[in-house]
Structure 1
Amino acid sequence: MDPRILDRLRCPVCGDPLAQATDTGALRCPRRHSFDIARQGYVNLLTGRAPHVGDTAEMVAARADFQTAGHYDVISAALATAATEAVARLRASAATSTLEPPEPDVGAYPLVVDAGAGTGRYLGAVLAAVPDAVGLALDVSKPALRRAARAHPRAAAALADTWQRLPLADASTAVLLNVFAPRNGPEFHRVLDPAGTLLVVTPDTDHLGELVDALGLLRVDPDKADRVTGSLGGHFTAVSSAAHRAELALTRPEVATLVGMGPNAWHTDPEALTARLAALPEPVRVTVAVRVDAYRPR
């Protein structure tokens, strides 16, 4: 594992620093807690059993296909721009500070963490835009992590439950990404540098709106923004909010892939979906509408 990433990791059992064993390659802390690195490249930093297994292999494959086709590149581009600005701000803050830089020095090699990273596509886009940053993908889905571990040469991946204590040092993270994923406000605050930035991507009210009635999909909660603020528990201050949109022209199979890659996959009857898809005219017009909100620690 890249030592610049390993430097920021902490044992999920005791909180001590981790080092890579020369004999097995596993990560170990001074108290001999040991965590294996899977042959697919991710490290298992779970303690005990996870409360859920996350996205299935089928859902992850569908998401990878849809993202690789470029349909959600509007999200990748927005995050890349926002993260670049966030790192520049962090470095400017460090340059004017009279204090000794913390250990590890986040500004020297910024760590970007994606909590609920899925395939790692968005983390990879951010690392491509910030050439000296390193990245860590956290997820509870093993099929997702197998892909996230290969998302970028400067990225690593770890199996971790983001509802629990994150396996990271205090104030170790420059930018924390949270894309369509649960938010752990206290832990996000703990691991972010005081000058760091949390970037949260949520669906806008008309996201995929053309498909909601046509296919019987879940609707976006109109109180989503308030729930996001509440989930951050008063640990953050909102500093910016931007809407990003794209109009897609999809084939019916692409729409099926879109439905199968997200929460609708758990709530849609396959036979009913097939019948409704067959009734849609091609190309199927679909609106991508998301918000990217930037928060700073209080």
Structure 2
Amino acid sequence: MLVDTLPFLACPHCGDSLELSDTSLRCPNRHTFDIARQGYVSLLRAPTTFTGDTAAMIEARAAFLRAGHYAPIIRELLTVEPGPGCITDVGAGIGHYLAAVLDASPERIGIAIDAAKPALKKAARAHPRLGAVLCDAWQPLPIRTGSTGLVLNVFAPRNPSELHRILHPSGKLVVVAPTERHLRELVSAVDMLTVAADKGDQVTSRLAPYFAQERRVLCEFSMALPHRDAVALVGMGPTAFHTSVDAIGERVAALPEPVVVTASVTVTTYLPASTVETDR
């Protein structure tokens, strides 16, 4: 629940602690944040035009993940031992991966961060020890410095300096990123966006000097998808921003059923670089 995350949250305006006050969160400096009736809270520091995935994309993601096709990715996430503190998922979407990690860590509290309100409405109900927070990953995160033992970042944007700031010195960052082989059977058939061949190296380069790579695992597996799940898979990703649902459905319908699709991602664990100083 959101109230369980309060020891780890910080006011986005002044950085002070937050307390529950009726249906709001409030800091000692009287900055107040209303809790939505669906259970999440907006802790945006400043107005943003970035609103994340659309409601249709969120529904597609929920349908696809509910079918269990990405279970091998979850199994890789569960091999990482958290450091002291909470577990924060930056770009958590509906909270699917965070909920699975919390199931395996019964003593932990989880914070799901995302910019999409439709996603957080679902994330707020994804697990009883999960709190859902609306914020922009490119703004300072409303999380106390050094309070997170494990940061998850699954197919999501990442702000290296802020991820480093919130991470406990003994904590870990886990990034799941697609390889150039990810969903290759659908890329040409449905006109999906392609992935650079050096995607993993790009991620590591951009995280430096805040993080050092500890371990990288290739997680690659085949999925036999009915048409509805293939449509959901395409519809939950960035391709949906420039291709209509009807067009996706027509292209998938022309493929054999089930559609055999390769999932190919790297699961990379990073340690915080101790030489980087934070001032928050």
Both structures adopt the same fold (TM-score exceeding 0.5): yes
Partner of 2:26: 28
Partner of 1:58: 56
Q: How does 1:51-130 map to 2 (within 5 A)?
A: 51-82=49-80, 86-87=81-82, 90=83, 107=84, 110-130=85-105
Q: AA paired with 1:20?
A: L
SS state at 2:8 partner: coil
| 1:166 partnered with 2:141 | yes
Q: Is the 8 A contact 2:2 2:39 kept in 1?
A: no
| 1:156 partnered with 2:131 | yes
RMSD of the TM alignment (CA)? 1.4
- Give the distance between the partners of 1:15 and 1:134, measured in 2 at CA: 20
Q: AA paired with 1:80?
A: L
Partner of 2:6: 6
- Give the distance between the partners of 1:13 and 1:257, measured in 2 at CA: 38
Which of 270, 282, 288 is matched with 2:263 structurally?
288
Partner of 2:199: 224
How many pairs were matched up? Answer: 273
Which of 106, 122, 138 is matched with 1:131 structurally?
106
Shift in Å at residue 76 of structure 1? 1.6
- Runs ≥4 residues deviating over 4 A: 1-4, 269-272
Q: Is the 8 A contact 1:77 1:125 kept in 2?
A: no
Q: How does 1:194-233 map to 2 (within 5 A)?
A: 194-233=169-208
SS state at 1:206 partner: coil
Q: Name the larger-Rg structure.
A: 1
Shift in Å at residue 276 of structure 1? 2.3
Partner of 1:147: 122
Shift in Å at residue 278 of structure 1? 2.5
Partner of 1:178: 153
Q: Is the 8 A contact 1:186 1:235 kept in 2?
A: yes
Q: CA offsets per residue over residues 140-175 of structure 1, 9 Å max, x none? A: 100000011111111100001110100011100000
Q: AA paired with 2:34?
A: D
| 1:262 partnered with 2:237 | yes
Unpaired segments of 5 or more residues in structure 1?
Answer: 91-106
Identity %: 50
Q: Is the 8 A contact 1:113 1:137 kept in 2?
A: yes
Partner of 1:95: none
Shift in Å at residue 2 of structure 1? 5.4
Unpaired segments of 5 or more residues in structure 2?
Answer: 274-280
Shift in Å at residue 65 of structure 1? 0.4
Q: CA offsets per residue over residues 218-267 of structure 1, 9 Å max, x none? A: 11111212321232141001000001122111112211111101111113
